[in-house]
Homo-oligomer: A and B are copies of this chain.
Amino acid sequence: MKRNTWQREAVREALDASEGFVSAQTLHDRLKHTGSQIGLATVYRALADLASGGDADSLQQDGESLYRACTPGSHHHHLICRNCGLTVEIEADAVEQWAHSVAAEHGFTEAHHVVDVFGLCAACTAKAAAGELRD
């Protein structure tokens, strides 16, 4: 049976308080800096649980997993600013249907899909134009 511990709750809250996607390590650092004594392994476990339970979304970037508290129970994708991490949830039935139909056309079953859009948000675009980004 799944038990409720202050550690799990702390991870959930820290994730809720985060603007965009964060790594397990970053979240652990953040928790430590706020005085928590939570262990790194526990953060990894809690995030994996949240993701598998549908309470958080995850994506992989540069070989590391990033997590974000997302609207529970709804399937959606993300538009992410690669500079500041600002994230917008996006829904697109057209893409869902396209994914399923292209899989079906080729005889594939149990189709899952990974769809993410990365760019520069309006604010970061302005900064880039002003030459304030080194990217």
Contacts and interface: CB of A to CB of B under 8 A. Distances in A.
A112 B102 CA distance: 21
The 10 closest A-B pairs by CB, nearest first: A107-B122, A108-B119, A111-B119, A109-B125, A113-B117, A114-B116, A112-B118, A103-B119, A60-B60, A109-B120
28 contacts: A60-B60, A63-B63, A63-B64, A63-B65, A79-B103, A81-B108, A88-B106, A92-B98, A92-B102, A94-B94, A94-B98, A95-B95, A103-B119, A108-B122, A108-B125, A109-B122, A109-B125, A110-B120, A111-B117, A111-B118, A112-B117, A112-B118, A112-B119, A113-B116, A113-B117, A114-B114, A114-B117, A115-B115
Given A60-B60, A108-B117, A114-B116, 17 more contacts: A63-B63, A79-B102, A79-B106, A81-B108, A92-B98, A103-B119, A107-B122, A107-B125, A108-B120, A109-B120, A109-B125, A111-B117, A111-B119, A113-B118, A114-B114, A114-B115, A114-B118
